[in-house]
Structure 1
C-alpha cells in the first residue's frame, strides 16, 4: 500500500531514502517534510520518494485515486487497517476502479481522551503546512512536460475521503496552500470530497468561512452526519473548554445550507451510524452490520465515485436521509 505521512520516523535519513521506515509513535509533532512510502507488509515500510509514488499512482491500473485522511487518535496500524478495509470494499464493488491512498498525520499515543484531543488538534494544524507542500508538489509534477507530456498526461481522477478530525487537516491544508502557493485561487483538483463525521464547526463550509475552499477545490462536497455520534458529542464538550461553542459539522450537517456553495450536499446518517459502529456511531462509512459487507454509506460513496453525481436522478437535490434497505 502506498501512503504519504507527516509523521516522523525513528531514524530520519534525509536526504537519502529510508529503506526501513519506522514510525516514531512517541513523537506527535508534524515533520516539516513529508515522506512518500510503500507498506510492504505489517511492520515493514520503505520510503520511495515523491517522484516514485506519483509515477506509481499514474501507472496503477485504476481509474481513480481516493485519498483517505484519518481522524483523531488513530495510530499508523489503525490507519492501514481502515484503508485496507476501504480498498477491499472498493475492489469488491468494481475491480480496477479505486486505489486508496492514506495520508497519515501524527495522532497522540498518550492516555487520556481530552489530552489526546488537544494534542491531536495541534498536530492536525501543524500537518496542514506539510500537506500543503504535497499539494504544490503534485501540481508541479502534473504540469511537468517531462513527467506528463501532452501525449501521455496523468488522467487519474482524484477524490478525498476525510473522517472526523481529518476534515480539520483537509480544511487547514487547503487554506495554507492558497495562502502560500495559490494566491489567485485553488484549482479544481478533486472530483469528489467526502466529509464523514467532520470534527469542525458546522459553519465551516459557509461562504466566507475557511472551509469554503474545500468547495472551490472540489466538483462535489458531500457531508455525512449523525446527531447521535457520541465521539463528536465528546468533541463538543472538549471544545467548550476552549470557548468554541458551535455544533460540529458531523453532528448537524451545515448550519445553513442556503449559505453554502451550490456544490455542497448533506446526507443524514442517523438511521445507520450506531448500527454500523456501536455504541459510538462514529466510524460508519465502511462496512455495515456484517464484516466485509458494504454499508449504505459506503454504497452511496462508491456510487458517487462512479458517476460523479451525488443524486443522479435529481440534480437539484441538496440533501437526503440514508436508511437501511
Structure 2
C-alpha cells in the first residue's frame, strides 16, 4: 500500500530512498517535509522517494486514485492503515482495478482524550497544509514535465473524513496563496467530504472551502445530525468560544451560496447502522463485510463521475 505523510520518522528526517521508515509517534508536530512511502506489512514501511512513488502510481493497474485523508485522533496503526485496507477491499469487490486507495497521513494525537486532543489536532491540521501544498505543487510540476505520450491520465479523487476536511481545505488555501497565480486547477474528479469537521459555511462563496469546489468536478457532502463524534467536536468548540454548526452535522449552511457542483447528502437514517454508537465513520461496511449504502453511493460517483441525487433542483439526496 502506497502512502504519503508529513509525520516525522525516527532517526534522520532527510529523505533516503529505499530505507526502512518508522513513524516517530512521540512527535506530533507536522514536518516541513513530505515522505512518499509504501506499507509492505503491519508496522513495516519503506520510503520510496517521490520519483519512484509517482512512477508506481502512474504504472498502477487502477484506473482512478482515491486519496484518503483521515480524521483526528487517528494513528497509522491500528486506525488509518486497517481502514484503508477495508476501503480498498470494498472497492475491489465492486470492481477490480477501478480504484487505488492511498492514505494521506498527517500527525495527530490520541492519548489524552477527545476534547483535549481536539485543539492540538486542529493546529496540526492547519500546519500540515504547508507541506501538502508543496506536494501538490511538486505533483503538478512532475505531471507537466512528462512527455505528451507518457502523461499520467488517471482520475484523482479525494475522500476527506472528519478533521481531514480541515487538512484538505487548508491545503488548497495555502496552495492557492503561495503557489498559484490563476486560481486552483480542476484537478479532482470527486471531492467526498465525509462527516466534515469544519464549519458549515465553509463551501460558501468567499470562504476558504470554496476552493474545493473550484478544483473538483463534484463535491459530495455527507452529513448526519446525530453524529456523536461531531457533537463532542461542537462541545470543544463552544468551550473555546467558537459557535458554529459543523458541515458534517447539517450539510452546507446555504446551498444557494455554494457552487453548482456541490451536493448535500443526508445520512441521518443510516449512520448509526454502519457505525454504532458514534455514527461518525459510516462510509464503510455494515460490520459483516457488506458495503453500506453510503459506500455504494460514493462508489457510484467515482465510477460514473456523476453524483446521484433525488432533488436535482436543490442538489440534495437522502440515503
Deviates more, 1:194-203 or 1:114-123: 114-123
Report the CA distance between 1:153 and its aligned residue. Answer: 1.3
2:165 — aligned with what?
167
Unmatched 5+ stretches in structure 2: none
Check the 8 A contact 2:190/2:219 in 1, yes or no. Answer: yes
Check the 8 A contact 2:297/2:308 in 1, yes or no. Answer: no
Report the CA distance between 1:314 and its aligned residue. Answer: 7.7
Check the 8 A contact 1:12/1:18 in 2, yes or no. Answer: no
SS of equivalent residue, structure 1 residue 270: coil
Check the 8 A contact 2:309/2:315 in 1, yes or no. Answer: no
Moved over 4 A (4+): 312-317
Check the 8 A contact 1:67/1:160 in 2, yes or no. Answer: yes
1:108 — aligned with what?
109
Report the CA distance between 1:110 and its aligned residue. Answer: 2.5
**CA RMSD, aligned part only?**
1.3
Distance 1:197 1:316, change over 3 A: same
1:311 — aligned with what?
308
Deviates more, 1:98-107 or 1:8-17: 8-17
Q: TM-score, normalised by structure 2?
A: 0.97
Unmatched 5+ stretches in structure 1: none
Check the 8 A contact 1:311/1:317 in 2, yes or no. Answer: no
1:31 — aligned with what?
31
Check the 8 A contact 2:69/2:158 in 1, yes or no. Answer: yes
1:180 — aligned with what?
178
Check the 8 A contact 2:255/2:314 in 1, yes or no. Answer: no
1:281 — aligned with what?
279
Q: Deviation digits for residues 159-215 of structure 1, max 9, x if unmatched?
A: 000000000000000000000001320000000000000000000000111100000
Report the CA distance between 1:219 and its aligned residue. Answer: 0.4
Taking the aligned partners of 1:15 and 1:83, their CA distance within structure 2 comes to 24
Total equivalences in the alignment: 318
Report the CA distance between 1:19 and its aligned residue. Answer: 1.3
Taking the aligned partners of 1:235 and 1:15, their CA distance within structure 2 comes to 36
1:82 — aligned with what?
83
1:20 — aligned with what?
20
Taking the aligned partners of 2:56 and 2:164, their CA distance within structure 1 comes to 24
SS of equivalent residue, structure 1 residue 36: strand
